[in-house]
């Protein structure tokens, strides 16, 4: 049975009033990879009557009234992606598709969906509290640089005029909020919940760290960098202090992050009765639903700390792993479905080979200030043995009805070199000819700013990958994710990367152009031209010409890019390598269709 999306569906359950109504920028796909259905199922399992309004028509308040007035609050999410990232390319051009909408149709959600949805709800039910969350609200919780307007915007809770913001993974704060409101506490008085932010007046909680004010960070890039540095220092939930930021006579208060879920709680979340299918009211296919239907999430969090990735700011760096029994039970349930044909499309998480990993000295981890456990060198306390992951994959392969188990999530290749058993199992049984890895770059100056392992580590991995594939007698290739236009990257750096690819026989067909998305270290560097960790200046590729030429250098093997490649080489004084880079008939075969990523 699905979560109700209409009044009739709610009444069929005997519910004439709902406790919490979710509003989502995504279509309703009843799968644990979709945040709103997962949270709705979670509250439902704890005795709350919940409904979902998926992709309402934001042009009219009536679309937000189809389930009536909730007894407790509305919960708003823009969807699985920031709505501006979903709508626009890195070149700020409008996209013409939306994988989270039936028929892959663009335009089913507005720009800045969190703000628009909240405004319509306040218009429809002025006295009903609105709680915002999801990736858009989470990463815009502070004053932040907005690439699409090229300016610093206020915290989204102020622009949305919402009553509370839940950031990060919302199970714990959302459930506690609903419980306390059900017991009669007014939302305005609930100011102590971890993983939440609210607007107040006065001085804020005792011991809070004060960030430079909105007025200062909007006017002064050095102040912006300082605010980012101070905020990033309080991401460890075990030692984090509250953060405050002034907006005139008002104060944004951001409580410490929610604590990681225990294995028992995480297992309970993924044991909920998901159908794994879109709501039956949809007649057109939803691309994202098709892509993830056969996938299984084994864990949350990532301790890689890449500069351009927001996972650490949203899910945290502590790995929260499900038990083997929980994952096996989920796959066993899938096997019994009439649409299952024997293949699991993915067993993984943000980084597949972090399942089961942890800090070997938890008391040290709870005091740790490092944002990355791998950069600049792997932490000596990090337990990297992948025995749990290998055992899990073995059990899944042995399940009756399962013919193939793929690992399609990206892997951290520098970590994989410390996991020979997982590496061997991956190449032998779980790679369908292509393995996705993300070196992103090879220039030391760029990889240091990216917080990536660098050229030498990738070279070692590439050789090991090819040797092991030959030993297995398999024709397998890498899909290397590479990025152009990252802060600190020059045309000369891109020439170095292009020459490296040609030397190693690697090609890509698409390139990820860096997009400054809210909440990341790289976006802070893009806006300020400063590395907030050191205060040092950083080159930022800003012009359309430089961005275009950087991308062209990674596509050196495509004849149509030759003119742009020559222009790039001339611009950085490297015409000496034109013959080497553009010589026909050399350079190896394509490594695979490295599709552009939305991060």
Residues making up the annotated binding site for [4Fe-4S] cluster are 302, 306, 309
Q: Report CA torsion sign: 199, 200, 203, 207.
A: negative
In 3D, which of 181, 177, 182 has the Cα closest to residue 132?
177
Residue 507 CB partners (closer than 8 Å, separation 6+) = 501, 557, 587, 588, 589, 590, 591
In 3D, which of 488, 525, 4 has the Cα closest to residue 281?
4
* SS3 category, 473: coil
| Phi, psi for residue 74 in degrees, rounded to 5 | -90, 145
3-state SS, one letter per residue, for 213-280: CHHHHHHCHHHHHHHHHHHHCCCCCCCCCCEEEEECCEEEEECCCCCCCCHHHHHHHHCCCCCCCECC
- CA angle, residues 53, 58, 60, in degrees to nearest 5: 100
Strand 320-321, strand 382-383: pairing: unpaired
* Tokens of residue 338, six digits: 């009439």
Residue 307 CA to residue 445 CA, distance in Å, equals 13
Cα within 13 Å of Cα(47), Cβ side: 4
- Bridge partners, residue 343, by sequence: 404
User: What is the Cα 319 distance to its own chain's centre?
Assistant: 15
Residue 459 CA to residue 311 CA, distance in Å, equals 26
Contact by Cβ (8 Å): 101, 554: no
Identify the residue whose tokens are 């008085």. 189
In DSSP notation, 119-152 reads HHHHHH-TTS-EEEEHHHHHHTSSSEEETTTTEE
Residue 315 CA to residue 464 CA, distance in Å, equals 31
Output helix, strand, coil percentages for the chain, rounded to the nearest 5.
Answer: 40, 15, 45
Report CA-CA distances (Å) from 262 to 171, 258, 268, 269, 300: 12, 12, 10, 11, 11
Angle between helices 387-398 and 324-335 (to 10 degrees): 20
Q: Which residues are annotated as a binding site?
A: 302, 306, 309
Strand 151-153, strand 144-146: pairing: antiparallel
Residue 485 CA to residue 498 CA, distance in Å, equals 14
Radius of gyration of the chain (CA): 24
Contact by Cβ (8 Å): 532, 229: yes
Residue 278 CB partners (closer than 8 Å, separation 6+) = 27, 28, 29, 30, 102, 286, 289
């Amino acid at each position: 049975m699905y979560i109700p999306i209409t009044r009739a569906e709610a009444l069929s359950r005997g519910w004439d009033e709902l406790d919490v109504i979710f509003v989502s920028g995504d279509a309703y796909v009843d799968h644990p990879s979709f945040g709103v259905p997962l949270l709705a199922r979670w509250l439902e399992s704890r005795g709350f009557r919940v409904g979902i309004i998926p992709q309402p028509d934001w042009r009219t308040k009536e679309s937000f009234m189809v389930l009536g007035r909730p007894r407790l609050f509305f919960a708003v999410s823009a969807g699985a992606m920031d709505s501006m990232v979903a709508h626009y390319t890195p070149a700020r051009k409008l996209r013409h598709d939306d994988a989270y909408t039936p028929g892959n149709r663009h335009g089913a959600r507005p720009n800045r969906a969190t703000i628009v949805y909240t405004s319509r709800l306040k218009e429809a039910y002025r006295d009903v509290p609105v709680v915002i969350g999801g990736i858009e609200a989470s990463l815009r919780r502070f004053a932040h640089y907005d690439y699409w307007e090229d300016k610093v915007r206020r915290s989204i809770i102020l622009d949305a005029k919402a009553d509370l913001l839940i950031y990060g993974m919302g199970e714990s704060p959302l459930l506690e909020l609903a419980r306390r409101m059900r017991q009669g506490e007014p939302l305005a008085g609930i100011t102590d919940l971890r993983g939440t932010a609210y607007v107040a007046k006065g001085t804020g909680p005792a011991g809070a760290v004060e960030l430079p004010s909105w007025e200062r960070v909007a006017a002064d890039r050095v102040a912006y960098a300082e605010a980012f540095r101070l905020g990033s220092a309080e991401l460890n939930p075990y030692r984090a202090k509250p953060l405050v930021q002034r907006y005139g006579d008002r104060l944004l208060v951001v409580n410490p992050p929610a604590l990681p879920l225990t294995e028992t709680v995480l297992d309970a979340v993924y044991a909920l009765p998901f159908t794994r299918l879109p709501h039956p009211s949809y007649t057109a296919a939803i691309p994202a639903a098709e892509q993830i239907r056969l996938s299984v999430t084994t864990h949350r969090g990532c301790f890689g700390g890449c500069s351009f990735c927001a996972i650490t700011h949203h899910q945290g760096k502590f790995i929260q792993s499900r038990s083997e029994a929980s994952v096996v039970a989920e796959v066993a349930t899938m096997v019994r479905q009439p649409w299952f044909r024997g293949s699991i499309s993915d067993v993984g998480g943000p980084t597949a080979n972090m399942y089961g990993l942890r800090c070997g000295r938890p008391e040290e981890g709870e005091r740790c200030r490092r944002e990355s456990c791998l950069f600049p060198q792997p932490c000596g306390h990090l337990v990297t043995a992948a025995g749990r992951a290998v055992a899990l994959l073995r059990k899944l392969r042995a399940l009756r009805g399962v013919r193939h188990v793929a690992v399609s999530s990206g892997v951290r290749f520098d970590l994989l070199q410390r996991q020979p058993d997982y590496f061997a199992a991956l190449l032998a049984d779980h790679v369908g000819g292509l393995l996705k890895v993300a070196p992103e770059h090879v220039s030391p100056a760029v990889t240091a700013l990216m917080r990536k392992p660098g050229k030498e580590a990738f070279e070692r991995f590439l050789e090991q990958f090819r040797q092991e594939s030959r030993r297995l007698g398999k024709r397998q290739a890498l899909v290397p994710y590479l990025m152009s236009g990252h802060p600190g990257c020059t045309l000369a750096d891109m020439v170095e990367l292009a020459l490296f690819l040609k030397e190693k026989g690697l090609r890509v067909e698409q390139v990820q152009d860096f997009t400054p998305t809210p909440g990341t270290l790289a976006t802070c560097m893009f806006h300020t031209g400063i590395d907030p960790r050191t205060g040092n200046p950083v080159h930022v590729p800003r012009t359309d010409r430089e961005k275009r030429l950087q991308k062209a250098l990674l596509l050196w093997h495509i004849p149509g890019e030759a003119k742009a490649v020559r222009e790039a080489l001339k611009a950085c004084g490297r015409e000496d390598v034109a013959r080497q880079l553009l010589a026909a008939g050399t350079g190896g075969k394509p490594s695979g269709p490295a599709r552009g990523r939305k991060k």
